[in-house]
Amino acid sequence: MLGLLAFAGCTINDPIQELVRQGRAADPFGAAGFAEPLFALSPGGVAQLLDVLAGRDPVPHALWPYCYAGAWGVPKAGVRPGAILVEISTLTEYRLGEIVLNANIVSDELSARIAAWPGVDAKALRAWKNALGKCRDDLRREAVEAILAACPGDEEREVIAGVRTTPAPLAAIEQSVAHVRDAFAGVPLGLSLHRYQYMSGARAIDWPPELNREVRAAATRLDLPLFDGAALVARHGNEAALAPDAKSWAKGFLPVVADALDAFVRTFAGSGHAA
């Protein structure tokens, strides 16, 4: 059974987990002792996940929930997958010092918790989220003081006050992919485009526009196969393929994506048995 390891977000990890549920793929994250897949969204996130899987323990317990799902842990066994998929979904890196946080956890989950605090300044919260998304540290500083005035405890204060965003350079995309290839020498590797959102008529939106252009170029330079889930949306339509956010897969559509991803992987990885 082919062990599929993803350095990616939900649009790749969710269909891989569907293959795992169907007994058609092995889960290297599970084999290493992690209860859930660990997501990597940006080039820095890929590098950090490589450190996690190597047991270098780069993320302290207290910050783990802002980086990954499930309980903190270190691999209980060496990770040796049968194939690897990499999907860079953002160039915006959310960092607390040297630690790469998960952008969605900060902008969605943490923001939702902040919004529920008594007396929180909703306008300041919106400004903080927007400033982080736009890598505008001047605007972030203005908003964070108002948010912290309503902060009930120290646990989230450190993240709110300390998180910064910077755009990763385009060259970091190819560098991160090459680091994965080097860390898992000999393991078949493929890339995937990330579609930021879909408009009506299955029209895929890339953001930032240069991200997928660079992924395509990196795939050509490194001679790696490239997966594009937009073809599935075009074939089946938005309503069938997509969740209400028009970004992620509809739960009922995951078997279709899983089939397509499995077929793609087997074009370059065959039917290996490593997990």
- CATH 3.40.50.1110 holds for 4-91+168-269: yes
**Percentage of the chain lying above the pLDDT 90 cut:** 88
Instruction: Write out 87-133 in H/E/C secondary structure.
Output: CCCCCEEEEECCEEECHHHHHHHHHHHHHCCCCCCHHHHHHHHHHHH
pLDDT surpasses 60 at 225: yes
Query: Contact, 102 vs 94, CB < 8 A?
Result: yes
Q: What is the pLDDT of residue 128?
A: 96
pLDDT band at 118 (very low <50, low <70, confident <90, very high): very high
Give me the residue spans of the domains in the chain: 4-91+168-269, 102-165
Prediction pTM value: 0.94
Going by pLDDT thresholds of 50, 70 and 90, the confidence category of residue 153 is confident
Confidence (pLDDT) at 223: 97
